Amino acid sequence: MNFGISPKITYLYDKTVILEASLKFVKKKMSKSNDSDKDANIKNIAFSLTKKLEDKSNIQVKTYFTLEKKIRGIRTDVSKELKGISVAYAKEFLPSYNTAFSYQYDKSAYEDNDPNLPVRRDNSDIYSINITKTIDEKSTVSLNISHIDVTSNIQTNTYDKNSIGITYTKIF
């Protein structure tokens, strides 16, 4: 279970440019007691710029920094610094269907290291497409398809992952 606070400031520069800054403070608590050594405090700061285009589409660039610190234990895969940037393009190609394409690059530096291995450094490339269909004024269904490519200086932490998700949202 996670809980935290995430204040955000949004500034409308003009009718086509939106600037945002946000902070996030999260206390991550794993639900299984045998995973309690993954519990962590997470701090994040993010800045984004969104440009609305004439064809009712928009482009967003976002940069962020995250610091995750383990609360207890000797795990070497919890405490890390993560820096990243993302670029997204969103457009309604068909009436009531919103589509977003995005690319995200993350660079992680782990604080702790196994004495038998070098200090872990990961780079992640994440490509995704999200299609959201408006059902009515208070509900939507979304399909998200993504590909994650993680490279690490420790070969066992290098992997590719494909995922597909479907989300139904209803506002009450």
In total, how many domains does the chain have? 1
- SS3 state of residue 76: coil
pLDDT in tens, 111-154: 877 788 888 999 999 999 999 999 999 999 999 999 999 999 99
For residue 160, what pLDDT is reported? Answer: 97
Which pLDDT does position 145 carry in this prediction?
A: 98
- Which tokens belong to 165? 């998700």
Q: What is the pLDDT of residue 164?
A: 98
User: Which residue spans within the chain are E strands per DSSP?
Assistant: 2-5, 8-12, 17-28, 40-52, 58-70, 80-94, 97-110, 121-136, 139-152, 159-170
pLDDT value, residue 6: 93
Domain boundaries, position 6:
2-170
The pLDDT, as a whole number, for residue 9 is 97
Can you list the residues of the chain whose pLDDT is less than 50? none
Answer left, alpha or beta for residue 73, where phi above 0 means left and psi between -120 and 50 means alpha: left
Question: Would you state the pLDDT for residue 129?
Answer: 98
Nearest to 85 by CA among 101, 67, 66, 64: 64
